[in-house]
Structure 1
Amino acid sequence: MADDRDVLRDIWEGRLPVAFRLSADEVNVMEQPEPYYLLVPRLSYLTLVTDKVQKHFKKYTDEDNTTEVWFDFEGQPLKWHTPIGVLFDLYASKSALPWNITVHFQNFPEDELISCKTKEVIESHFMSCVKEADCLKHRGQVINGMQKKDHKQLWMGLQNDKFDQFWAINRRLMEHTADEPFKYIPFQIHQIDGPAQQCLFKPVTDDGDPLTLKDLMRQVKPDVITESGEMTCIIRIQGVDPPLDTPIQWLSEHFSHPDNFLHISLITDS
């Protein structure tokens, strides 16, 4: 079990200041409405934190033409099922704060985004990720041994931003021993161009030696680290650029998102 509770809490309490602005093409009044400002959790999903935003802007747009609320940053549609912090690290980490996100009520880009009209859709996606992660870590034995109320508590802890409520259950999903680490590390590598990548990766060698973030990169994205050891991009996790020699088991325990996946963003200098 991850025993550094301060690290877990610091990760949980990560926040981003966001200025939500209604798309100029959808304003039905003479003047553009003022932005709506929120301090949003990095660990959450956009569609979980924007009820007030939607209510604020709905009166300024044409309700007859409303399809489904969606968001973009500088023309890039933002995927609701990708955690907010990952979206920021990928697309806006070099931008000044607050992060300017455009709100849309019309012209939902069905060819780029998955529809998400209810919070039940988000919950279903979240729990599917948690179950997949536990299959990788513990062959699914932990999540399958939980009761339905435990699954609900995980979700409610995330939705309501309650650290203690969430970790009272999630600690069981992070349990392991020194002799028996996770079977595989649940991770996704994100880049601006292309889908997220994942594969099977063990946290230790066959001899039991710990593997590191560098080992993971060299297996999955060998072009990220040159033969001389130089980086071709920035590797960012939870807004932090961890040392390459950090054990991947430790990162999985401490830096994973609530879905139990380690989300790794690759950021180019261009």
Structure 2
Amino acid sequence: MSSDLNYFRSLNWNSTVSLELSVRKDGLSVLDTVYFTAYRNSYPFFIYQQLKYAFLQSNHSSNQLNSINDDDIWFEVVDLPESNTSANNIPDKLKLHWNIGLSYDYYTFNYNPLKNHAPPLKLILHLSNSADSAAAHLQSTKLSFMGSLKESQLIYWGTVKRITQLKTNQTEQLWHSIQSNDIDEYFKIADKLLPLPLSIKEKEMDDNETPKPRSIPLKFILPDQILAYPVLHGTAIPLEADISWLASTMASPDGFLRFCIILN
């Protein structure tokens, strides 16, 4: 395996985003603003679990902490431009099936006028359910991840055989490695699922094996950068970048390349 490949994987895996967060319950403030960083691949519910025991535990009695229903929590994105708020003043909710890095790029790049400045993403953690809030629990996040993983396998290889052939403990290892941000444990399994860059694949493939996916630059898929540009994990990506290389080094844990297209 190329050292360059491992280097860029490590950069991607260990990158973080800045968050500014306050906590409310039934409209009342529970915790003043705190600032912290989160791994880009972390899901919102992972962040909630960390906050629950790192901050809420010191501000609540054990009975109060146990009374919090994990299925009721939700995150609100705040301080967005008026053009992004609905006519009915419905709060903009953080998508629970997006990892936090994707949400960060979407909101900070699209709505931040200072393109060279990376402010914290401002969030409110609500501990009580809103009328239109869907259940936000760990199992639904896990099911969404596993579903996306199978979809990405179908796109890469035309089959989900690589994922269905994994043992139960291997799929659990994938999931727990994301929770613990353990890159070594993740790639023990993910190396069987993700494509290799064409230059490496040509050296390692069998004589009768055809390399997949093909080496295709982004410019064949995305429009000219005069109007917009692609951002992947907080980085503006040149249109000459090879898709198979990006997939092997910068894919999200579910295997997808999740770009934000930012208008100029």
TM-score bucket of the superposed structures, by smaller chain: 0.7 to 0.9
1:194-233 residue pairs with structure 2 within 5 A? 204=214, 210-217=215-222, 224-225=223-224, 230-233=225-228
Structure 1 residue 24: deviation in Å? 8.8
Say whether residues 1:5 and 2:6 are aligned partners. yes
Equivalent position amino acid for 1:82 in 2: W
Structure 1 residue 265: deviation in Å? 0.5
Structure 2 residue aligned with 1:68, among 72, 78, 94? 72
Say whether residues 1:263 and 2:264 are aligned partners. no
Structure 1 residue aligned with 2:187, among 153, 157, 167? 167
Of the structure 1 ranges 246-255 and 7-16, higher mean CA displacement relative to structure 2 is found in 246-255
Equivalent position amino acid for 2:219 in 1: K
Distance 1:59 1:234, change over 3 A: farther
Name the SS of the counterpart of 1:130 in structure 2: helix
CA offsets, 1:15-59, max 9 Å, x none? Answer: 11212112497216xxx7422333201111111122242454584
Say whether residues 1:98 and 2:120 are aligned partners. yes
1:113-262 residue pairs with structure 2 within 5 A? 114-117=134-137, 119-138=138-157, 139-175=159-195, 177-178=201-202, 180-183=210-213, 204=214, 210-217=215-222, 224-225=223-224, 230-262=225-257
Structure 1 residue 88: deviation in Å? 0.6
Distance 1:109 1:159, change over 3 A: farther
Match of 2:88 in 1: none
Structure 1 residue ranges (4+ consecutive) displaced by more than 4 angstroms after TM superposition: 57-61, 63-67
Match of 2:206 in 1: none
Distance 1:7 1:44, change over 3 A: same
Say whether residues 1:89 and 2:141 are aligned partners. no
Distance 1:69 1:240, change over 3 A: same
Equivalent position amino acid for 1:251 in 2: L
Name the SS of the counterpart of 1:7 in structure 2: helix
Structure 1 residue 2: deviation in Å? 7.1
Distance in structure 2 (CA, Å) of the matches to 1:264 and 1:7: 17
Equivalent position amino acid for 1:8 in 2: R
Name the SS of the counterpart of 2:153 in structure 1: helix
Structure 1 residue 109: deviation in Å? 5.8
Equivalent position amino acid for 1:72 in 2: E
Of the structure 1 ranges 147-156 and 130-139, higher mean CA displacement relative to structure 2 is found in 130-139
Match of 1:192 in 2: none
Structure 1 residue 261: deviation in Å? 0.5
Name the SS of the counterpart of 2:32 in structure 1: coil
Number of aligned positions between the proteins: 228
* Greater helix fraction, Structure 1 or Structure 2: 2
Distance in structure 1 (CA, Å) of the matches to 2:160 and 2:69: 44
Distance 1:8 1:149, change over 3 A: same
The percentage of counterpart residues that share the same residue type is 21
Structure 1 residue 240: deviation in Å? 0.7
* TM-score, scaled to structure 2: 0.76
Identify unmatched segments of 5+ residues in structure 2: 79-90, 203-208
Superposition RMSD on alpha carbons, in Å? 2.9
Distance in structure 2 (CA, Å) of the matches to 1:169 and 1:39: 27
Name the SS of the counterpart of 2:36 in structure 1: strand
CA offsets, 1:210-243, max 9 Å, x none? Answer: 32111121xxxxxx42xxxx42123101111111
Which structure's relative contact order is higher, taking Cα pairs within 8 Å and 6+ residues apart?
Answer: 2
Distance in structure 1 (CA, Å) of the matches to 2:168 and 2:2: 24
Equivalent position amino acid for 1:216 in 2: I
Q: Is the Cα contact below 8 Å between 1:2 and 1:174 reproduced in 2?
A: no
